[in-house]
Chains A and B, each alone.
Chain A
Amino acid sequence: MSCAQAAPYTPGSDDQVLAVLPAGARHTSGPNLELTRSRLDIALPLAQFYISRSRATGDLRFLGYAEAMLAPWMKQVPVPSQVLVLHATILQSRHSFDAALAELDRALAQRADDPQAWLTRATVLRVLGRYDEALLSCQKLAVAADPAVTTLCVQGVMGLQGHLQSAYAAIVALPQQALPPEARAWRYSELGEMAERLGDDGSAEHWLREGLQTAPDDFYMRTACADLLLRHGRAAETVGLLTGYESLEPMLLRLAIAQRGINDSVESNAVAQLSDAFNIEQQRGDAVHRREQARFLLDVDPHPREALAAAEQNWQVQREPEDVLVLLRAAQAAQQPQAAAPAIEFLKLRGLEDARLNSYLKGKG
């Protein structure tokens, strides 16, 4: 493991810059810290600020700072429901989905109509492949949330349950202006994903590119778009799409795959950085990038057996269509077809439609 290799040195000059501090990552003095412990109206917006910084920069440390803002409030009895919802958001971002659900249920026990809690709950359940429950949570939104947001939530889940065509049509019909600005990128990414599952890659690319114009920092859409291009062997365009985002492991992973497609060699730097990051995560016991790790072991640094192990661990954490795909691929690469059984059963049981999977399964047969 290369991260164990320490090569410490003494910088030659006092002026050498060791770190550029991102906004919001400064030492906080005692009195200011005290305020966040005594005033919920200060702690909550700060926690939200850190979560949004984490989202905008992809920097996981900000989730930790947000958690620190909430920590004193988590000891209160009862814990304020807004605190629980934000805590659930942090847990969800770390892929601690079961823990996130537990926090949301506690929050909803206090405030049964909290739309934020229901929306987050729907999203988590959807990632877990528990579509029936996700749908129920989406429907609860109707009471307090924007009807367009409810539609987006409901149709998004329906699209995974054997109603892909009608769900796609419903979301296409949803006027962009009907949505609150923050939900517009969501519509685009949902449309892009649905079109891709329908096998209409042209439309998928159109939606994702349009979405990226609205929200250039939406990492989900950018990686989805990169995956689409990579699937069509458009490596050079992928590099163009991802350049400038190398500090994010999922982007770096796709960049490495693209480089491999172009000149059949990957910068050893990128390989080292990715495997370091995955190893550290593994040692911590985190599961945020297991799917990426499996793809890394399939497409960048091929180790089929380890790739299957990562894909199987990932399957225990999340069950999105992407996760089905990576498990199928890993099982095939490792020549252990029986390892794909849970994914195939999942597809049958849920009625999940996905052109990528179909062509893959056909190709395999």
Chain B
Amino acid sequence: MKRLVALLGLMLCVAAAQAHIASNGFLTAAVNGRDVKGAIELAVRDVELAVGVDVNRDGKVTWGELRASGPQLALYVRQHLALSTQGQDCQVSFEPLQINDRVDGSYAWLPYAAVCPMIINKLNIRYTLMDEIDPSHRGLLTLSAGDVVQTGVLGGTRMLSSFAVDTPSHWATFIEYLEAGIWHIWSGIDHLLFLLSLLLPAVLLRSGGHWQPVTHARPALISILKVVTAFTLAHSITLTLAALDIVRLPSRLTESVIAASIIVAALNNIFPIVTDSRARIAFAFGLLHGFGFASVLSDMGLPQGARVLSLLAFNLGIECGQLAVVLVVMPVVYALREGNCYRRAIMPWGSAAIASLALVWLLQRAFLLPV
């Protein structure tokens, strides 16, 4: 009877639906390829319970106290929150702590960046924050991948939760890799300079030890077509071999040889050795440039289930980007071909400039010199 009286008070408010909200952590995760970025937020009150922040025991948690507990908090979060994909942990690093105010008080806002060992198709989250202190704590997850956003609830009796990261449609993948290909050829100026070195003399003919402008467009077009086709064919072969992991070359070697290839192609314009079959140079060195493209692709990764499609799209992107440059540059070059300026200045000095730039690259890449 005594116990009833002691407890009775608890029962009487049963019908009253009142309370502050329960304890929540807020986890955001933006997935992009192998990377995850976001923040974990825990109420300052919960941080006190988890790691003991109120060092001076005055019943108040100040920013100074919280900041001083930053390392313990990071350690606690590391022990109780882990991201993985296909059974392999992602490497998480934290950025400086901040504060976010929410309806039920201030939250410690801890931004993080994680790198997973492979492209994330399914993100596994182990969430045991607060589990022994407040079993009703839940992690409210907002997971985004591109434009697709999903929410989830973490913690409770389920320590491990899995979220399928919506693999983008084939079309979206295709566009993504196509863009990456175009972007790579435009930003990777070394490939363009190599091509340009081979194309500068395409509007000229070598006869009797001198350069002469072509009389009509046809031979120039044929020459351009041969060079571009040979380059494309060659780098497509090695790009495919490398991307599918059939052949691998150390990147230091390929990058160095790519730089060397530019020097060779540029010098050949000043001291011509190969004059009528530049397509062969294009093909031979194109094989190496393909390995260069592949290194970009291996950074991005090929999505499971769409490997061939994305490889094709990336390659097509490279060809589009390359073709766009050819279409802009070659009409100008063709128009300039008759003037002395082109043969005496633009071609030799332009080639010399390209060769010197490539020499710098070669030294940097081969001997790992600082830029």
For the complex, what is the distance from the CA of A72 to the CA of B140, rounded to whole Å?
A: 25
For the complex, what is the distance from the CA of A272 to the CA of B310, rounded to whole Å?
A: 45
Within 8 Å of chain B (Cβ to Cβ): is A197? no
Chain B proximity of A244: nearest CB distance (Å):
14
Within 8 Å of chain B (Cβ to Cβ): is A132? no
Chain A proximity of B290: nearest CB distance (Å):
44
Q: Which residues of A contact B43 (CB under 8 A)?
A: 19
Please state if B24 and A280 are interface contacts (CB–CB under 8 Å): yes
Q: Which residues of B contact A95 (CB under 8 A)?
A: 17
Chain A proximity of B43: nearest CB distance (Å):
8
Q: Which of A48-56, A258-266, A346-354 contacts B (4 or more CB under 8 A)?
A: A48-56
For the complex, what is the distance from the CA of A60 to the CA of B142, rounded to whole Å?
A: 23
Q: Which residues of B contact A3 (CB under 8 A)?
A: 26, 102-103
Please state if B64 and A15 are interface contacts (CB–CB under 8 Å): yes
Per-residue CB proximity of B101-139 to A under 8 Å, as 1/0? 111111001000000000000000000000011111110
Within 8 Å of chain A (Cβ to Cβ): is B210? no
Please state if A27 and B49 are interface contacts (CB–CB under 8 Å): yes
Chain A residue at minimal CB-CB distance from B54 = A21
Q: Among residues 1 to 30 in chain B, which have CB atoms less than 8 Å away from a CB atom of chain A?
A: 1, 3-24, 26, 28
Q: Which residues of B contact A10 (CB under 8 A)?
A: 96, 98-99
Q: Which residues of A contact B28 (CB under 8 A)?
A: 6
Within 8 Å of chain A (Cβ to Cβ): is B153? yes
Chain B proximity of A218: nearest CB distance (Å):
7
Within 8 Å of chain A (Cβ to Cβ): is B63? yes
Please state if A58 and B62 are interface contacts (CB–CB under 8 Å): no
Please state if B4 and A119 are interface contacts (CB–CB under 8 Å): yes
Please state if A14 and B98 are interface contacts (CB–CB under 8 Å): no
Q: Among residues 36 to 53 in chain B, which have CB atoms less than 8 Å away from a CB atom of chain A?
A: 39, 41, 43-45, 48-53
Within 8 Å of chain B (Cβ to Cβ): is A234? no
Please state if A63 and B3 are interface contacts (CB–CB under 8 Å): no
Within 8 Å of chain A (Cβ to Cβ): is B178? no
Q: Among residues 72 to 106 in chain B, which have CB atoms less than 8 Å away from a CB atom of chain A?
A: 96, 98-106
Chain A proximity of B109: nearest CB distance (Å):
4
Please state if B100 and A68 are interface contacts (CB–CB under 8 Å): no
Q: Which residues of B contact A144 (CB under 8 A)?
A: 1, 4
Chain B proximity of A256: nearest CB distance (Å):
14
For the complex, what is the distance from the CA of A58 to the CA of B104, rounded to whole Å?
A: 13
SS class, residues of chain B in contact with chain A: mixed
Within 8 Å of chain B (Cβ to Cβ): is A363? no
Given contacts A283-B140, A284-B22, contact A20 B60 (CB under 8 A): yes
Please state if A291 and B49 are interface contacts (CB–CB under 8 Å): no
Within 8 Å of chain B (Cβ to Cβ): is A8? yes
Please state if B17 and A27 are interface contacts (CB–CB under 8 Å): no
Please state if B17 and A288 are interface contacts (CB–CB under 8 Å): yes
Please state if B153 and A285 are interface contacts (CB–CB under 8 Å): yes
Please state if A16 and B19 are interface contacts (CB–CB under 8 Å): no
Per-residue CB proximity of A157-192 to B under 8 Å, as 1/0? 000000000000000000000001111011001000
Chain B proximity of A225: nearest CB distance (Å):
12
Chain A residue at minimal CB-CB distance from B100 = A8
Please state if B61 and A18 are interface contacts (CB–CB under 8 Å): yes
Within 8 Å of chain A (Cβ to Cβ): is B59? yes
Per-residue CB proximity of A21-65 to B under 8 Å, as 1/0? 100011111000000000000000000100110110111110111
Q: Which residues of A contact B140 (CB under 8 A)?
A: 280, 283-284
Within 8 Å of chain A (Cβ to Cβ): is B34? no
Within 8 Å of chain A (Cβ to Cβ): is B66? yes
Please state if B109 and A247 are interface contacts (CB–CB under 8 Å): no
For the complex, what is the distance from the CA of A294 to the CA of B241, rounded to whole Å?
A: 61
Q: Among A18, A27, A145, A219, point to the contact of B16 (Cβ < 8 A).
A: A219
Q: Which residues of A contact B134 (CB under 8 A)?
A: 61, 64-65, 67-68
Given contacts A19-B44, A27-B49, A123-B11, contact A60 B22 (CB under 8 A): yes
Within 8 Å of chain A (Cβ to Cβ): is B67? yes
Please state if B60 and A63 are interface contacts (CB–CB under 8 Å): no
Chain A residue at minimal CB-CB distance from B136 = A64
Please state if A284 and B138 are interface contacts (CB–CB under 8 Å): yes
Please state if B60 and A17 are interface contacts (CB–CB under 8 Å): yes
Which of A10, A57, A281 lies at the interface centre, i.e. has the most chain B CB atoms within 10 A of its CB?
A: A10
Q: Which residues of B contact A20 (CB under 8 A)?
A: 59-60
Within 8 Å of chain B (Cβ to Cβ): is A200? no
Q: Among B4, B6, B45, B100, point to the contact of A19 (Cβ < 8 A).
A: B45
Q: Which residues of A contact B16 (CB under 8 A)?
A: 218-220, 223, 250
Within 8 Å of chain B (Cβ to Cβ): is A251? yes
Q: Among B5, B19, B51, B62, point to the contact of A18 (Cβ < 8 A).
A: B62
Chain B proximity of A246: nearest CB distance (Å):
11
Within 8 Å of chain A (Cβ to Cβ): is B151? yes
Within 8 Å of chain B (Cβ to Cβ): is A105? no
Please state if B136 and A60 are interface contacts (CB–CB under 8 Å): yes
Q: Which residues of A contact B52 (CB under 8 A)?
A: 27, 29
Chain B residue at minimal CB-CB distance from A67 = B135
Please state if B18 and A248 are interface contacts (CB–CB under 8 Å): yes
Q: Among B4, B10, B21, B106, point to the contact of A145 (Cβ < 8 A).
A: B4
Q: Which of A86-94, A296-304, A305-313, A335-343 contacts B (4 or more CB under 8 A)?
A: A86-94
Within 8 Å of chain B (Cβ to Cβ): is A237? no
Chain B residue at minimal CB-CB distance from A322 = B15
Given contacts A144-B1, A146-B1, contact A283 B17 (CB under 8 A): no
Given contacts A180-B5, A283-B140, A288-B19, contact A276 B102 (CB under 8 A): yes
Q: Which residues of B contact A77 (CB under 8 A)?
A: none
Residues of A within 8 A of B (CB): 3-4, 6-11, 13-21, 25-29, 48, 51-52, 54-55, 57-61, 63-65, 67-68, 71, 89, 92-95, 115-116, 119-120, 123-124, 127, 144-146, 149, 180-183, 185-186, 189, 218-220, 223, 247-251, 272-273, 276-277, 280-281, 283-286, 288-289, 291-292, 320
Closest 6 CB pairs of A and B: A14-B64, A64-B134, A27-B52, A220-B16, A64-B136, A182-B9
A-B contact pairs, 26 of them (CB 8 A): A7-B101, A17-B60, A17-B61, A17-B62, A18-B61, A18-B99, A18-B106, A54-B19, A55-B10, A61-B136, A65-B133, A68-B134, A93-B14, A93-B19, A95-B17, A116-B4, A120-B14, A219-B13, A220-B18, A248-B20, A249-B19, A249-B21, A276-B103, A283-B153, A284-B140, A285-B153
Known A127-B14, A149-B8, A285-B153; 16 more pairs at CB < 8 Å: A6-B109, A7-B101, A8-B99, A17-B62, A19-B45, A25-B48, A26-B54, A60-B22, A61-B20, A64-B137, A67-B134, A116-B4, A180-B8, A223-B16, A248-B19, A320-B15
